[in-house]
Amino acid sequence: MHVNIKGDDPYNEALELCIKLIEGNVEQNIFEETLRQGFRNKAFKLFTIDKVIQGLMKHCHTVVSDSKCAEIFMLMEKDRNSLRTSAKDQILYRMQVRNLMNVDEHMFKITYNKAKSQTNITFLALEDLTIKEGNKTDEEKWNYYLTSYSMSHPTEGIDSSKLQLPFLKSILEEEEEDESEIEGFSDSKLKVKIDENTYRLVFEPGSYDLFSRNSIYTQKPSRKTKKAMAAFKEALDGEFGLYKEATEEEGAHADAKFKSLVTEGAEAYAKFDEVAAEKAKAEAEAAEAAKVKAEAEKAEAAKSEADAEAGKGSDAPVTAAATTSSAVPSQLNVTLKTEATEGDSTIQQDETTDKVVQEEKKN
């Protein structure tokens, strides 16, 4: 059966020809010759379409029959049925699928855009990000990093070859002891934050993580222990230590608290803040009482001084003489006498004063 491609609708004509080939209604040589007539030197791309379909059917059969593929397919359905998703959900989805795959198997990501009716298939290497950065802002990139960092899975976007351990395994002391018999004190309140610009990990001031064994207070510190403590204190006081963002008062408080741990033990360390707060409260109350007492003494002294001045003024006689000008007769002179009688001042005025004033007015 010979089929011609007229050119009116070449896509549908080629699709119909492929269907006939798969169903066995057209032989392979006739199929190829017809494609050459319609598409010339580009027809070779469809010569093996039957093998592609066979391989696709084989993969579909594997998805249905293989248990791991079936679980991956169920995970995909679960993700597709969710109306909303987040970066954390996508990372967890990828981790779950990777756990069901072999190490040498490749992973592909399929995304579908409903608005544009487009499907994208992307190869995902182990070091690739689950969600491409694209046009993300700095804050969105920082949030994505925090999401990945907070998970048990290795942080995405970080080159593992450049990572360094914070300590050397060779300097760790191996001690054979039963952990159930270790007696001590532990308190975990350590808080950290990640800088949005540098992504550097910084401890929050006032937070801490403590584990102390009781045996360290019954043994004398060795030279090695002293050296380790000195290095530890140097790290705390360093550029990226606990005191980087702490004030001078907070640093002094932390030093005193650490000394209480070394000298008095873990229990004293745990109660240090409570004891310090009570001590500060008592000192504040004492300072307030001293201030009130000082003000009361000052007021008492000022009152005593005022009383002394008043007593001194009442003991001295005061005589005030009012002398008129030359136009006023001398009879207008008034003599005021002040006498001290039992602490009170009495002003006596001459009885003739009023009479003299009245006579001057008549004249």
Kindly report, residue by residue over 244-301, the tens digit of the pLDDT. 666 777 777 777 887 787 777 777 777 888 888 888 888 888 888 888 888 888 888 8
pLDDT at 331: 40
Residue 351: domain span: 319-362
Please give the Cα distance from 214 to 207 (Å, whole number).
22
Please give the Cα distance from 203 to 219 (Å, whole number).
31
Residues 73, 51 share a domain? no
Q: What is the DSSP letter of 214?
A: G
Domain assignment of residue 163, yes or no? no
Residues 52, 74 share a domain? no
Q: What is the DSSP letter of 255?
A: H
SS3 121: strand
What tens digit of pLDDT does each residue of 151-181 get? 877 888 777 777 777 666 665 565 555 555 5
- Asked whether the predicted pLDDT for residue 54 surpasses 80, the reply is yes
Strand order in the sheet with 319-322: 319-322, 334-341, 344-349
pLDDT at 356: 46
Residues 230, 190 share a domain? yes
Residues 187, 251 share a domain? yes
Please count the structural domains in the chain.
4
What tens digit of pLDDT does each residue of 2-52 get? 556 666 788 888 888 888 888 888 888 888 888 888 888 888 888 988 899
pTM: 0.43
Residues 123, 79 share a domain? yes
Please give the Cα distance from 308 to 301 (Å, whole number).
11
H or E element, residue 301: helix 272-315
Residues 102, 27 share a domain? no
Residue that terminates a domain, selected from 241, 270, 299: 270
Residue 144 CB partners (closer than 8 Å, separation 6+):
87, 129, 131, 133, 136
- Asked whether the predicted pLDDT for residue 53 surpasses 80, the reply is yes
Domain assignment of residue 314, yes or no? no
pLDDT at 351: 45
Residues 246, 199 share a domain? yes
Q: 134 and 122 in contact (C-beta within 8 Å)? A: no
C-alpha gyration radius of the chain? 50
Residues 249, 190 share a domain? yes
Residues 109, 36 share a domain? no
DSSP string, 83-117: S---HHHHHHHHHHHHHTS-TT--EEEEEEETTTT
The separation between CA 59 and the C-alpha centre of its own chain, rounded to angstroms, equals 48
Residue 195 CB partners (closer than 8 Å, separation 6+):
202
Q: Which pLDDT band, with edges at 50, 70 and 90, does 55 fall under? A: very high
Domain assignment of residue 285, yes or no? no
Residues 227, 256 share a domain? yes
Residues 54, 74 share a domain? no
Domain assignment of residue 2, yes or no? no
Domain assignment of residue 280, yes or no? no
For the beta carbon of residue 230, count every other beta carbon within 10 angstroms. 10
Residues 142, 77 share a domain? yes
Instruction: State the average pLDDT for the chain.
Output: 75
Domain assignment of residue 281, yes or no? no
Maximum Cα–Cα distance across the chain: 164
Domain assignment of residue 104, yes or no? yes
23-54 core/surface letters (b: 16 or more CB in 10 A; e: else) = eeebeeeebeebbeebeeeebeebeebeeeee
Domain assignment of residue 5, yes or no? no
